[in-house]
């Protein structure tokens, strides 16, 4: 695509791809005209900016949105610059400020982070030139303790839960508006308990659940915690006792149901 643009516009001094966002474009304009960033000739910069915007509108519609907001900002600043400032009016203290100040602050901050990114990149380059000793054998050793126990599958869990339900005392057969604990809260309670002990038996999870509803909530909470990779559920042999272990959450662990990621 870039090549195409260049062939259409062979003499145009810039490639759109050079500019990531409106702030980058503004910095480019300021540098190209060698103007003082603290005293931006706003009329000139606005005119040039709009020129680029026209071109970009033709080339790449996707970026136009963010660029339009900046165009509006520039035009607003320009118009505010034209209005004589009334320093003596205490009712509008914001008039004391140069209308360009906010923009200048943003530009400078943007520049700082660009520089920071550059410096980070230098560190990254050095670091990537430092080779470490890869040893596949070590990885096998590190994982070993986990593999000794079987990860419990869903059906074994359901079976275990069945026996918990069967053992629970049948409650009174009256429908009372019970206080229901949401799964999220239950998860937090279980996490809090596991943080004290690192691990506990499957049935201990249900120790404080009185009603059938609570038992089910607890079980659903456990399933969710497995999915979120907060816990591991293991047994040392087939049909052996099931234990729940707290685990270090891997970085790619999914979040709670309904949580958008990012």
- Residues at the interface with another protein (CB under 8 A): 20-24, 37, 66, 70, 106, 108-121, 123-124, 126-135, 138-139, 142, 182, 184-185, 188-189, 191-192, 195-196, 230, 248-249, 251-252, 255-256, 258-259, 261-262
List strands edge to edge, sheet with 150-151: 150-151, 231-235, 242-246, 199-201
Burial of 42 (0-12, 13-18, 19+ CB in 10 A): buried
φ/ψ of residue 180, rounded to 5 = -95, 140
260 vs 262: CA distance, rounded Å: 6
Q: Cβ closer to another protein: 111 or 168?
A: 111
Rounded to whole angstroms, how far apart are CA atoms 256 and 158? 21
Tell how many helices (H) and how many strands (E) occur in the chain: 9, 4
Using the minimum distance from each CB to another protein, give the nearer residue, 24 or 98. Answer: 24
Closest separation in Å from C-beta 38 to another protein:
9
Taking the complex as a whole, the smallest distance from the CB of residue 167 to another protein amounts, in Å, to: 28
Cβ nearer to another protein, comparing 133 with 167: 133
CB of 209 to another protein, least distance (A): 18
Q: How far is the CB of 74 from another protein (least distance, A)?
A: 13
Residue with tokens 């404080």: 208
Query: In this complex, which beta carbon is closest to another protein, that of residue 7 or of residue 128?
Result: 128
């Amino acid at each position: 695509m870039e090549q195409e643009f260049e062939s259409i516009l062979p003499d145009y001094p810039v490639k759109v791809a050079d500019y990531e966002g409106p702030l980058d474009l503004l910095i480019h304009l300021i540098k190209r005209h060698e103007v003082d960033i603290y005293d931006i000739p706003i009329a000139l910069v606005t005119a040039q900016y709009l020129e680029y915007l026209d071109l970009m509108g033709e080339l790449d519609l996707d970026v136009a949105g963010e660029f339009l907001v900046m165009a509006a900002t520039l035009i607003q600043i320009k118009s505010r610059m034209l209005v004589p400032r009334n320093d003596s009016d205490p009712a509008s203290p914001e008039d004391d400020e140069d209308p360009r100040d906010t923009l200048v602050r943003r530009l400078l901050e943007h520049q700082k982070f660009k520089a920071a990114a550059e410096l980070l990149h230098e560190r990254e380059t050095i670091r990537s030139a430092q080779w470490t000793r890869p040893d596949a054998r070590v990885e096998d050793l590190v994982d070993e303790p986990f593999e000794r126990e079987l990860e419990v599958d869903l059906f074994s869990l359901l079976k275990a839960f069945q026996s918990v339900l069967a053992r629970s005392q049948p409650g009174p057969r009256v429908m009372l508006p019970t206080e229901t604990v949401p799964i999220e809260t239950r998860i937090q309670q279980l996490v809090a308990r596991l943080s004290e002990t690192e691990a506990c038996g499957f049935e201990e999870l249900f120790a404080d659940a009185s009603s059938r509803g609570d038992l089910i909530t607890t079980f659903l909470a456990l399933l969710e915690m497995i999915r979120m990779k907060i816990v591991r559920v293991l047994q040392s042999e087939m049909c052996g006792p099931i234990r729940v272990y707290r685990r270090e959450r891997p970085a790619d662990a999914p979040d709670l149901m309904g949580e958008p990621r990012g």
